[in-house]
Structure 1
Amino acid sequence: MSKRTEKTIVDIAEELQLSVSTVSRALNDHPNISARTKERVKKVAKKIGYRPNALAAGLRNNKSKTIGLIVPRISMFFPATISTIIQNKLQEFGYNLIICQSNDSYEQEVALANTLYSARVDGLVVSTTLYTTDFAHFDIFRNNNIPLVFFDRVPKDYNVKVIKGDDYRGGYVATTHLVEKGCKDIVHISGPLTCCLYSDRVAGYKAALQEHGLPSKKNRIFYQELTRENAWQTCEKIFGQQPYPDGIFASNDTTAITIIEYCRKMHLRVPEDVKIVGYSNDPRTEIVTPSISSVDQYPAMMGERVVAVLMELINGRQSAEPRYSQEIIPIQLIERQSSAGKSKTGKKKLTLS
């Protein structure tokens, strides 16, 4: 099989009897080149299969016009939605996006960071793994003044730009909502505390219980990767013995949906016997029966802010010197059927500011 010969602007110039510089300007829509010449050049370029060498152009002007993005799993609703927003917004600024997923592997995250640095990206956006506590593999970006923005799953003490949801308030609001609905024994299913999201949500959950005079019990909090399989196993523990909880706050919607399924298997009524609140406002929460109350994290707002901050760094409108800066995106509880109604012993409804 013969090796393919890459066509260059020299081939276009020879065919049209033009200078290489004229062809280059025509391909880049230079105003000094006539529309007729541009049309002829582009027609021949298409015919011979010419491909612009973006890497070479990037080396010449020290800009690749490419941004790297590392997310845990592209299959999850929240990172998938934000990835789409980031890509669409970056295209408005003339940037392309390389999307990589760490699969929640710290080792893979390290490898991806090194790969994207070698690919000469103009900036890097990261949502870390569940277990990332050492961020040294991102030092090469900071040390070389390459814009670096973390979102959603973020470091707490690493000098970078951080954009995250109000997870403490999310945990507080979700738990307070269940208390308002009359729940007195509330289980919380959390992710690993190595991840800032879940440590903040647990803190909000505990604060809400304390504020309303309810105990925080160790055997009512579960820490795990928030998969369907883990949720099912946790349900077996929760409902394996009496007394059953009357409320469950789950730190993602996959877990909340699984709890609905398990309650159906146990012939427990939702929301009459147990009320449920999830997190992320995944579209699935609206179409399951009963529909699930969930905390909306405003992924579109977060994605737009990530790009805005990144562009400010790239264009020098923010200091390139690495320093910690945090921006909080608000949350909102979306009430649906899974937490509707109120028990006879329920307290008066509490208003959240």
Structure 2
Amino acid sequence: METKAEKAKAPSRRTSITDVARVLQVSASTVSRALSDQQDISKATKARVRQVAHAMNYQPNLVAAGLRRGQSKTLGVILPHLSGAFYPTVLHGIEKMASQHGYQVLVCQSHDEVRCEQRRVAALLAAQVEGILIPVSATTLAEVNHLAQVQQAGTGLVFFDRAPADLPGSAAVLLDTYNGAYEAVTHLIKGGSRRIAHFAGPQQVSTSRNCQEGYLAALRDHQLPRGKN
């Protein structure tokens, strides 16, 4: 004679908690409490629920469950690209820390293009992420309305590596490229160098802009002329 678990073959559509409850002839609430190991459910019932849920290939909808609790336990990360060593290393750290606190991470790429960045922000907000971590694209310039919308939605927003020039109330974790450039140029000058070149990055990006300002400040403080280019 077939058991309920043997009869409970996975349907073509995704198995719902209601499907599991119907096979067991219990309420969906009982299934939910059994799977979340609530104390008011007996060990025998928990074992039976888990057996049938496994046989039916039931996967809890963690997003829906999180939204019912008022939190998705999900963070969004938008990177300009995943090439090189820097951003993959940062992403590894983000995912490691998020996992330790029970969070999942959704990763997107802006391809260093503001229109793409805007679409990624909208998608993450629609996914109900609790926070977004982002180094702005090289073409974001003064177009920060999509980032302001993140703040207005009450979603956490943290910039790292790159931050927009004009977005009050935003949090940022940035390298001190101004002092880094200043000290590097000063070191070269003390070593006897007088013609020091600087390969500037896009000036709408804070780290590039600060780096160039540090370079120029060191030249001024040591009364050296700025190069023509």
Query: TM-score when scaled to structure 2?
Result: 0.86
Q: CA deviation at 1:19?
A: 3.2
CA distance in 2, matches of 1:34, 1:217: 79
Which residue of the other structure, out of 136, 145, 153, is the alignment partner of 1:144? 153
CA distance in 2, matches of 1:31, 1:23: 13
| Counterparts of residues 144-163 of structure 1 (less than 5 Å) | 144-159=153-168, 160-163=170-173
| Counterparts of residues 322-337 of structure 1 (less than 5 Å) | none
Deviations 1:283-309 (A, max 9, x none): xxxxxxxxxxxxxxxxxxxxxxxxxxx
CA distance in 2, matches of 1:183, 1:31: 73
What is the root-mean-square deviation in Å for CA atoms of aligned residues?
Answer: 1.9
SS at match of 2:148: helix
CA distance in 1, matches of 2:212, 2:62: 47
CA distance in 1, matches of 2:64, 2:181: 49
Give the structure 2 partner of residue 313 of structure 1: none
Give the structure 1 partner of residue 177 of structure 2: 167
CA distance in 2, matches of 1:40, 1:172: 68
Give the structure 1 partner of residue 76 of structure 2: 68
SS at match of 1:89: helix
Distance 1:203 1:25, change over 3 A: same
Distance 1:38 1:170, change over 3 A: farther
Give the structure 2 partner of residue 202 of structure 1: 212
Which residue of the other structure, out of 36, 41, 46, is the alignment partner of 1:38? 46
Give the structure 2 partner of residue 309 of structure 1: none
Q: CA deviation at 1:189?
A: 0.9
CA distance in 2, matches of 1:35, 1:205: 68
Counting strand residues as a fraction of each chain, which structure ranks higher?
A: 1
CA distance in 2, matches of 1:198, 1:112: 24
Q: CA deviation at 1:36?
A: 4.4
CA distance in 2, matches of 1:190, 1:39: 64
One-letter amino acid of the counterpart of residue 188, structure 1: H
Deviations 1:253-302 (A, max 9, x none): xxxxxxxxxxxxxxxxxxxxxxxxxxxxxxxxxxxxxxxxxxxxxxxxxx
Give the structure 2 partner of residue 277 of structure 1: none
Deviations 1:113-137 (A, max 9, x none): 1111111111111110112121001
CA distance in 2, matches of 1:140, 1:210: 40
| Counterparts of residues 68-147 of structure 1 (less than 5 Å) | 68-133=76-141, 134-147=143-156
Deviations 1:127-175 (A, max 9, x none): 1011212100122222221111111110232121122111101111222
SS at match of 2:76: strand
Give aligned-pair identity as a percent: 39
Query: Runs (4+) of structure 1 moved beyond 4 Å?
Result: none
| Counterparts of residues 334-353 of structure 1 (less than 5 Å) | none
CA contact (8 A) 2:15 2:58 kept: yes
* Count of equivalent residues: 217
Which residue of the other structure, out of 182, 193, 199, is the alignment partner of 1:189? 199
SS at match of 2:198: strand
Q: CA deviation at 1:40?
A: 3.3
SS at match of 2:102: coil
SS at match of 1:216: coil
Give the structure 2 partner of residue 215 of structure 1: 225
CA distance in 2, matches of 1:213, 1:43: 78
Uncovered stretches (5+) of structure 2, i.e. residues with no partner: 1-10
CA distance in 2, matches of 1:185, 1:86: 40
| Counterparts of residues 10-29 of structure 1 (less than 5 Å) | 10-29=18-37
CA distance in 2, matches of 1:28, 1:183: 67
Q: CA deviation at 1:35?
A: 4.1
CA distance in 1, matches of 2:39, 2:185: 62
CA contact (8 A) 2:200 2:212 kept: yes
Structure having greater relative contact order (Cα 8 Å, sep ≥ 6): 1
User: Are 2:188 and 1:178 aligned?
Assistant: yes
SS at match of 1:124: strand
SS at match of 2:81: coil
User: Are 2:17 and 1:6 aligned?
Assistant: no
CA distance in 2, matches of 1:86, 1:161: 16
